[in-house]
Amino acid sequence: MTTPFDRLGARKRAAGAEDRLPPGQYVPRGWPVLHYGPVPAFKPDAWDLKVFGETASGEVTRWTWPEFGHLPRATVEADFHCVTKFSVLGNTWRGVSTQTLLGLAPPSAATTHVLVWAEYGYSANMTLEDFSSADALLVTHRDGEPLTADHGAPLRLVVPHLYAWKGPKWVRGVEYLTEDRRGFWEERGYHNRADPWREQRYSYQEDPGDGPA
């Protein structure tokens, strides 16, 4: 069954696609599913989200699933660029802004980077500036529908101006850092910065200063 959101999304994704595709990208049919490892089972009673590390208070902030459900929501219209070269255009993302999270659990003045943790120990690193960008969301819905488990439900990070591996599925924690530390794929040869418009796909493309040694 085709919903109004499906039809709207198709129109948005078709509009001006050539001008919105980063180098080397193409528009696929649908939204491909890619991830490493199995899809975790969501257990609402056991789920929580933690913010820890170099917090301003020195303490850990934690939300249960019901508590997270009461946080303010935001909507962002943004494209989605995967390092495997597909781009899904014109998405309507809904969730909790990372700026809201940072306001509720502030980092220390010395924080420069974050490491976003997900199920099974998966992680992705980025600068605090990237994490706090206005269109970065901890997403629960896309195009008016809840995320499916294979697309990261109950919670995934979306940072539209970076390649999608920087937005882990099944997010469980955010660690504030005073120096950069490579995440899961960055330790395995992916570029530390991940700008799709500069095709920053692999670590051998890094310039001095793009990441830790």
10, pLDDT greater than 90? no
Under a CB-based contact definition with an 8 Å cutoff, are residues 118 and 152 in contact? no
- pLDDT for 70 equals 98
Nearest to 142 by CA among 53, 76, 55, 82: 76
Beta 87-97 vs 74-81: how paired, if at all?
antiparallel
Q: Are 183 and 174 in contact (CB under 8 A)?
A: no
At 176-202, the pLDDT tens digits run 999 999 999 999 999 999 999 999 999
Pick from 35, 6, 18, 28: nearest CA to 152 = 35
Domain boundaries, the chain: 4-29+43-205
According to the model, what pLDDT value does residue 4 have? Answer: 43
Decide if 185 contacts 165 (C-beta within 8 A): yes
Q: Is the pLDDT of residue 11 over 70?
A: no
Which fold would CATH assign to domain 4-29+43-205?
Sulfite Oxidase; Chain A, domain 2 (3.90.420)
Give the per-residue pLDDT at 18: 67
Q: What is the pLDDT of residues 121-174, one digit of tens each?
A: 999 999 999 999 999 999 999 999 999 999 999 999 999 999 999 999 999 999
| Per-residue confidence (pLDDT) for residue 17, from 0 to 100 | 67
Cis bond upstream, residue 154 (ω within 30): yes
Give pLDDT tens digits for 86-131.
999 999 999 999 999 999 999 999 999 999 999 999 999 999 999 9
Read off the pTM: 0.90
pLDDT at residue number 16 = 57
pLDDT in tens, 48-85: 999 999 999 999 999 999 999 999 999 999 999 999 99
Using an 8 Å Cβ cutoff, are 50 and 61 in contact? yes
